[in-house]
Amino acid sequence: MPELPEVETIRNELKPHLIGHKFTEIIIYDSKLILQPSIEEFCRKLMGQTIADIRRRGKYLIINLANGKSLVIHLRMTGALLLNSETAGKHVRAVFKFDNGNCLTFFDVRRLGVMWLNKGINYSIPELGPEPLSDDFSVDILAKRLKGRKAPIKAVLLDQSVIAGIGNMYADEALFNAGIHPMKTAGGLSSEETKKLHNAIVEVIKKAIGNKGASVANYKRPGGEPGTAHKYFKVAHQRGKPCPVCGELIQRIAVRNRGSYFCPNCQEE
């Protein structure tokens, strides 16, 4: 599932193939993919435009066009952007061709991914919290953002308006590394725990980017290769396996309907 490290990997690997190139053909197979404007207008406004830059904010991929507008893409659960892959098929929702002969396929089994065209460079994506790897994300900022929150820390970590880009897998990994139980009240963390959590979030995200993302479901890099970050997961999706630190069996509980994996010994309630 594409979270921050996966979207960052996709961005890095698409850039050299797409920047400076023009859209020469656009095929939309699934009308639900485009949020705005209409399909016809979307294609007309994109056709012939040059890609100036590819950026990322949280889990959103932002394709900046030379005309100042931007194409915003969210892959949600199973979306993938593949270079020079299949151009038709059951799960192909859109295909974009470019003047250098490259072809970009939007592949998405569960059809939850979306994209839209924005008017200005100030893409109107929802209000998001700080980027975990930016200077805006300090221990103090994290403490301020958790203060007074009564919801479980796991739920708050998944709230994109608190911190941008963290999803279910990396929330579980960060909480494990910080030794914090997912159900612990967010506002009740000690300053020591907050410090540990901050460090764990930064480290987990950095390491996952270094490993080109985690291929637990059907995440693929643009070239079709998997990432390797999931090979180093300690608790995420490891139900029933022994904790790498203490050997206790990893458990799964539901926190706000999200599967949450943790070690009952290392992360006491």
39: contact with DNA by CB under 7 A: no
Query: According to CB under 7 A, which one of 111, 184, 195, 207 is a site residue for DNA?
Result: 111
The residue count for binding DNA (CB under 7 A) is: 40
Q: Are strands 23-28 and 251-255 parallel, antiparallel or unpaired?
A: unpaired
Report how far residue 72's alpha carbon sits from residue 94's, in angstroms, rounded to the nearest whole number. Answer: 14
77: contact with DNA by CB under 7 A: yes
238: contact with DNA by CB under 7 A: no
Q: What is the CB-side half-sphere exposure of residue 61 using CA atoms within 13 A?
A: 27
Beta carbon nearer to DNA, 75 or 95: 75
55: contact with DNA by CB under 7 A: no
Tell which positions 205-224 bind DNA, by CB under 7 A: 216-217
Could you tell me which residues come within 8 angstroms of residue 199 by beta carbon, excluding any fewer than 6 positions away? 178
Q: Is-catalytic flag, 258? A: yes
Report how far residue 201's alpha carbon sits from residue 205's, in angstroms, rounded to the nearest whole number. Answer: 6
CA angle 156, 160, 163 (to 5 degrees): 75
Q: Is-catalytic flag, 2? A: yes
Beta carbon nearer to DNA, 98 or 255: 255
201: contact with DNA by CB under 7 A: no
CB of 141 to DNA, least distance (A): 14
57: contact with DNA by CB under 7 A: no
Q: Which stretch binds DNA (CB under 7 A): 14-22, 40-48, 99-107, 110-118?
A: 110-118
Report how far residue 174's alpha carbon sits from residue 205's, in angstroms, rounded to the nearest whole number. Answer: 9
CB of 150 to DNA, least distance (A): 3
Query: According to CB under 7 A, which one of 56, 74, 196, 220 is a site residue for DNA?
Result: 74
Partners of 104 in beta bridges: 83, 96
Q: What is the 3-state secondary structure (H, E, C) of 229-268?
A: HHHHCCCCCCCCCECCCCCCECEEEEECCEEEEECCCCCC
Please report, as a single letter, which amino acid is at residue 117.
Answer: L
Q: Are 267 and 182 in contact (CB under 8 A)?
A: yes
152: contact with DNA by CB under 7 A: yes
Catalytic positions are 2-3, 59, 258
Residues at the interface with DNA (CB under 7 A):
1, 3, 32, 58-60, 74, 76-77, 90-91, 109-112, 126, 148-152, 155-156, 158, 160, 167-169, 186-187, 216-217, 236-237, 239, 252, 256-259
